[in-house]
Amino acid sequence: MKVRRLTTVGAALAVTVLIGGTAASAVPNGAQFRPPADSLRALAQPTGLRIGTAVIPFDLDTDGYVQLVGDQFSVVTPGNEMKWQVVEPTQGSYDWTAADRLVSFAQAHGQLVRGHTLTWHNQLPNWLTAGVADGSISNDQLKSLLHKHIVDEMTHFKGKIWQWDVANEFFTDSNPSQINPNDFWVSHLGAGILGDVFRWAHAADPKALLFYNDYNIAGEDGTNAKSDAVYAWVKSQLAAGVPINGIGDQGHLDTQYGYPYSLQSNLQRFANLHLKVAITEADVRTFVTDAASQVPTDHLAEFAQPYEFEQMLKACLAVQACISFTFWGFGDADSWVPGFFKGEGYATIYDVNLNPKPVIQVLQQELRLAARAAPVR
């Protein structure tokens, strides 16, 4: 995939509740959890914007890491733990353990959950891709299996997921862009499968917000070609009555391309279709000396990285329908970037030792200003 384009941590909140007159220690429930006043989630609260993170790595056992997840964010996305490969490694045998654990964590910390992702070409179970490749799974069977996957997963989590990424990364990066005819799902089941998955999803959990999620769909490609293609598609789907509730722009930026100033207007035009929008996987990468320390090679990148994050947050804050802003992980050591983009890194908001980077103060300041000026959502 070619993608063009805090802070003091409060002390752990020990919660003691009175049950039947006796004090009992308990896992805090959402109503009781109080994040630090200068946390990103608390500062965003007056605007109604949820600040999120992908939980990558999936580590709910290391104190310092867990505390940041709980304190700083009001919505969480499992980076991998709801993907088909993880939840059904063997056909017919589900493993919800990790995802259930995150949902419980979120409930205990007053957080919502973004479910990610139901229909994608990547991270599919081997039994499925192998069966399609050797012809033992026909296209009709493949369609039934996808239907079952969506219904079973959404039913398992019914009522617990705020936003579901129902379909992920279906459009080409070319100009003009289109639904990728070579996509695993499209090549076997046709482009109409995109409408089907949203209909199935709505039937399975009518209250969840159903999102189409992709990268470079808010002008990050410099041409707006992919955004235009997704816009035309979603408009036609809505006209046909397909239950799509939102568009997620992943928001993977790179300082070498500059900030995409059309991001806000692109979010707004989706919003004008009566859709919610969200930044779902924000990070801003740059060239670094090495993957271990992730020090930018160009000192100006230390200013460009916070600037681009700030602009992206500002764009979301300015669009009332933008309901969440999620980082794709919060520590440089755990980011997907160095493994994917040769020579790049420094893409998140905490450094390789989980110390806050300058960007956090910039974002805090932006949220403080927004509490007075941004539309409440």
Q: For this structure, is 169 an active site residue?
A: yes
| Window 4 to 23, contacts with ligand 9MR (CB under 6 A) | none
Q: For ligand 9MR, which is the closer residue by CB, 215 or 309?
A: 215
Q: For ligand 9MR, which is the closer residue by CB, 123 or 353?
A: 123
* Region class of 59: left (phi > 0), else alpha (psi between -120 and 50), else beta: beta
Kindly write out the interface string for residues 76-115 of this chain, putting x where it contacts ligand 9MR by CB under 6 A and - elsewhere.
Answer: ---xx-----------------------------------
Which of 183, 281, 344, 366 touches ligand 9MR (CB under 6 A)? 281
Q: What is the Cα–Cα distance from 170 to 180, expressed in whole angstroms?
A: 6
Nearest distance in Å: CB 135, ligand 9MR: 26
Q: What is the Cα–Cα distance from 229 to 235, expressed in whole angstroms?
A: 10
Q: For ligand 9MR, which is the closer residue by CB, 71 or 81?
A: 81
Q: What is the Cα–Cα distance from 245 to 227, expressed in whole angstroms?
A: 17
Q: For ligand 9MR, which is the closer residue by CB, 282 or 362?
A: 282
The vertex-39 CA angle with 19 and 83, nearest 5°, equals 80
Q: For ligand 9MR, which is the closer residue by CB, 316 or 367?
A: 316
Nearest distance in Å: CB 254, ligand 9MR: 13
Kindly write out the interface string for residues 64-83 of this chain, putting x where it contacts ligand 9MR by CB under 6 A and - elsewhere.
Answer: ---------------xx---
* CA 211 to chain centroid: 11
Which of 29, 90, 122, 353 touches ligand 9MR (CB under 6 A)? 122
How far does the chain reach from its first CA to its final CA, in angstroms?
Answer: 33
Which of 6, 56, 99, 360 touches ligand 9MR (CB under 6 A)? 56
Q: What is the Cα–Cα distance from 144 to 161, expressed in whole angstroms?
A: 23
Kindly write out the interface string for residues 233-262 of this chain, putting x where it contacts ligand 9MR by CB under 6 A and - elsewhere.
Answer: -----------------x------------
| CB-CB contact of 334 with 57 (8 Å) | yes
The reply on whether position 123 binds ligand 9MR by CB under 6 A is yes
The reply on whether position 126 binds ligand 9MR by CB under 6 A is no
Nearest distance in Å: CB 361, ligand 9MR: 26
Q: Of the residues 81, 169, 220, 366, which is catalytic?
A: 169
Q: For ligand 9MR, which is the closer residue by CB, 74 or 80?
A: 80
| Window 200 to 219, contacts with ligand 9MR (CB under 6 A) | none
Nearest distance in Å: CB 171, ligand 9MR: 13
Torsion angle defined by CA atoms of residues 359, 364, 370 and 372, in that order, rounded to the nearest 10 degrees: -150
Q: What is the Cα–Cα distance from 229 to 175, expressed in whole angstroms?
A: 9
The reply on whether position 336 binds ligand 9MR by CB under 6 A is yes
Tell me how many residues contact ligand 9MR (CB under 6 A). 9
Nearest distance in Å: CB 281, ligand 9MR: 6
* CA 145 to chain centroid: 25
Q: For this structure, is 281 an active site residue?
A: yes
Torsion angle defined by CA atoms of residues 174, 175, 177 and 182, in that order, rounded to the nearest 10 degrees: -30
Q: Of the residues 281, 308, 344, 366, which is catalytic?
A: 281
Q: What is the Cα–Cα distance from 232 to 284, expressed in whole angstroms?
A: 28
Nearest distance in Å: CB 79, ligand 9MR: 4
Nearest distance in Å: CB 312, ligand 9MR: 16
Which residues are designated catalytic? 169, 281
Residues that bind ligand 9MR (CB under 6 A): 56, 79-80, 122-123, 168, 250, 281, 336
